[in-house]
Amino acid sequence: MSNPVSRVRRVLAVAVAGAVVALGVTSCSVDSSASNDKPTIRVAYQTFPSGDLVVKNSHWLEDALPDYNVKWTKFDSGADVNTAFVAGEVDFGAIGSSPVARGLSAPLNIPYKVAFVLDVAGDNEALVARNGTGIESVADLRGKKIGTAFASTAHYSLLAALNQAGLSASDVQLVDLQPQASLAAWQRGDVDAVYTWLPTLDELRKNGKTLIASRELATAGKPTLDLGVVSGAFADAHPDVVDAWRTAQARALTTIANDPAAAAKAVAAEIGTTEQDAAAQLKQGVFLAPAALSSPEWLGTEGAPGNLANNLHSAAQFLAEQKQIGAAPDLSVFQKALYVKGLPGAVQ
């Protein structure tokens, strides 16, 4: 496997080069290219079950911001979302905490802000061994081929699980695979195990054994989360839009808690599954109450950044120990990256 830090630098170089060609190195955060001449808000989303999909399917952001176009673009992993932010192609994004920790560190140094906690990983992200491989525990993975999306929360959790079992990345064969590609490799027998997330995870479980889930790793001190981030420049220029986006996301959290059938219907439509499966998948995640978002444990408030900064700092330190990044930035970098303007009002 190539050196991960060098790989990130190559991705950064390619992304920046692409940005120069495609965007003319513009610093404008709102795209006005739509035919109706309204400025466009560019939102990066992923198809893991979350309130973000409820917001998208229900058109709440469009309803709240009629003077804007809202362009939703699907991404397969947090690494891809990071690349899009580097290239200046998106304003908001749904992304895991490990990619955010990486994004806020060198060499990426992405100037985005964490504005929302979409969910805390529970059983919705896990390491599964394929039936017939003889793998019964994480320790049995020595020398085995494991698929995961590099620079994702799943990759981070996989490294944590290996470390917990006394193994390192060099003790196994890691393969960089996005969720759908990992499923195809699994079906061909090209990999022995996969660490990934829903909905692909449920397909793997049909012919595999769960070795460990992110819920267990969180208990052991290595939690992962799905976060909502916004370009720092966009947030500075359009705080009202950020408030509207957070209000819609908070509404989605309330819907998941109080009207799970409606939430499941929306998620099912977005990921192409049944409402029953979507409901089961939503139950595997941990969703905060909107009022908790501005608590000291999570985002915090103006002048008092929350413990989420410590979580991201800890993730960066672990990534540095695993040689996934060169070094972890100071805690202050992560504290400054929490977008707490307008809290708690915007999420209640």
Q: Please, are residues 185 and 192 in contact by the beta-carbon 8 Å criterion? A: no
Angle formed at CA 185 by CA 183 and CA 188, multiple of 5 degrees: 110
Q: Give span(s): CATH 3.40.190.10, the chain.
A: 40-120+224-347, 125-220
- Taking residues 36-48, report their average pLDDT: 94
Average pLDDT, integer, range 163-168: 96
Confidence band, pLDDT 50/70/90 cuts, at residue 35: low
- 280 class by beta-carbon count within 10 Å (0-12 exposed, 13-18 middle, 19+ buried): middle
pLDDT of res. 338: 98
Q: Which H/E stretch holds residue 85?
A: helix 78-86
CA–CA dist 288, 297 (Å, integer) = 11
Residue found by looking up tokens 């176009």 in the block:
69
Residue 85: pLDDT band (50, 70, 90) is very high
Q: DSSP labels for 262-281? A: HHHHHHHHHHTS-HHHHHHH
What pLDDT, on the 0 to 100 scale, is given for residue 131?
Answer: 97
CA distance 335 to 344: 17
CB count within 10 Å of CB 150 equals: 22
With 0-12 CB in 10 A as exposed, 13-18 as middle and 19+ as buried, what is 262?
middle
Tell me the β-bridge partners of 196: 126
What strands, in cross-sheet order, belong to the sheet with 173-176? 173-176, 145-148, 193-197, 125-130, 208-213
Average pLDDT, the chain: 90
pLDDT at 1 over 60: no
| DSSP symbols for 271-337 | HTS-HHHHHHHHTTSB---GGGGGSTTTTEETTEE-THHHHHHHHHHHHHHTTSSS-PPPHHHHHHT
| Concatenated DSSP letters of 13-60 | HHHHHHHHHHHTT---SSB--STT---EEEEEE--SSSHHHHHHHHTH
Q: How far apart are CA 30 and CA 306, in angstroms?
A: 29
Query: At 221, is the pLDDT very low, low, confident or very high (cuts 50, 70, 90)?
Result: confident
pLDDT given for residue 27 in this prediction: 33
Mean pLDDT (whole number) for 160-168: 96
What are the angstrom distances between the C-alpha of 263 and each of 47, 58, 207, 255, 285? 14, 10, 28, 6, 13
Asked whether residue 238 carries a pLDDT value surpassing 90, the answer given is yes
How far the first Cα of the chain sits from its last, in Å, is: 46
Q: Quick one: pLDDT at residue 36?
A: 75
pLDDT in tens, 288-327: 999 999 999 999 999 899 999 999 999 999 999 999 999 9
Instruction: Name the band, by pLDDT with cuts 50, 70 and 90, for residue 34.
Output: low
Closest CA to 239 of 343, 101, 336: 343
pLDDT at 18 over 80: no
The whole model's pTM is what?
0.85
Tokens matching residue 169: 């990345």
Which CATH superfamily includes the segment(s) 40-120+224-347?
Answer: Periplasmic binding protein-like II (3.40.190.10)
- Residue 29: the pLDDT is 42
Are 15 and 336 within 8 A, CB to CB?
Answer: no
Average pLDDT over residues 201-209: 97
Give 20 or 95, the one with higher predicted confidence. 95
In angstroms, the CA 63 to CA 59 distance is: 6
Residue range 125-134: mean pLDDT, rounded: 97
Distance CA 346, CA 205 (A): 39
**What are the tens digits of pLDDT across the range 136-158?**
999 999 999 999 999 899 999 99
Write down the pLDDT at residue 20.
35
Q: Is 253 left (phi over 0), alpha (psi -120 to 50) or beta?
A: alpha
For helices 78-86 and 4-23, angle between their N-to-C axes, nearest 10 degrees: 50
Tokens 């409606």 map to which residue? 262
% of residues, the chain, pLDDT over 90: 84
- The pair of structure tokens assigned to 34 is 């739509």
Domain 125-220 has CATH 3.40.50.300: no
